[in-house]
Amino acid sequence: MKVELLEIDSEVFGRNVLAISDFSASDDLALAEAGYVKKFRPGYVSCKVAVNDLAVIHALEKRGFNFVECQIKSLVRFRRPFDTAGFPYVFERVTNERQLGDVLAIAGATFTEDRFTADPGVGKALSGERYRRYVRRSFEAKDEAVYRLVDPRDGQTLAFKTHRYVGKDEVLFLLGGVHPEYKAVGLGTVNEYFEFNELMSKGIKQGHTHISAANFAVFNLEIGRLGFRVVAVYAVLRKLYD
């Protein structure tokens, strides 16, 4: 079994948070669990399992793990730039703390369909802070970037996107969100158009991401309109420790 200590999540939770992987239903999960509990004394442990691997899912359920999300991995290959000439916005990389502050405010308030917000064992407050810290990490990391969609008339940040460069021509899409006051007016789609164009201008040819199946808006946008195709589906389970 592989055990990973998640530093940002641990800081937010105030307890060690782990992600476990690389095990099978035939493994001695009780022994493995006793090992990581002794070493890390975790408060929260999660794992991501192929949704059709019922033997592993049932074995985890017997150890007290609970289902919290159906997660979809999808891939998009960029074909041609989108026409954004009719949209009066600017899409730019975040380069200073003032711009970042605007993005962090959105990141802390915009997510409502994620497994942390929905989880009664976690809650919105911890979830919002967690997303803020992940956006800051993208701002500081050399292989990640934070972009914002701006209304140039007043300089207001309307939406943001983050991604990680995982090769010379591929990215992993991380987080993206629209200002709570401007949801349901199409800015999520516009935000994606601008990001795709920016990536294509840098020679990026494809990107992949993970989304919650419960996030119907993003699911319908990316799978239904932007050409993403599903490549894997996972069940995400977690266990809370006293």
Q: What is the pLDDT of residues 102-138, one digit of tens each?
A: 999 999 999 887 888 888 888 778 889 999 999 999 9
What is the domain partition of the chain in residue ranges? 2-65, 76-236
- Class in CATH terms, 76-236: alpha beta
Cα dihedral sign, 100-177-108-206 = negative
Q: What is the mean pLDDT of residues 86-106?
A: 97
Work out the end-to-end distance of the chain between its first and last CA atoms, rounded to an integer number of angstroms: 22
Q: What angle do CA 62, 112, 123 make, to 5 degrees?
A: 55
What's the pTM value of the predicted model, to 2 decimals?
0.93
Q: What is the pLDDT of residues 16-45, one digit of tens each?
A: 999 999 999 999 999 999 999 999 999 999
Residue 175: what pLDDT?
Answer: 96
Residue 111: what pLDDT?
Answer: 87
Token pair for 67:
């289902």
* DSSP class per residue in 136-148: HHHHH-TTEEEEE
Q: What is the pLDDT of residues 190-237, one digit of tens each?
A: 999 999 999 999 999 999 999 999 888 888 889 988 999 999 999 999
Residue 209: what pLDDT?
Answer: 96
How far apart are alpha carbons 47 and 65 in whole angstroms?
A: 9
How far apart are alpha carbons 7 and 17 in whole angstroms?
A: 8
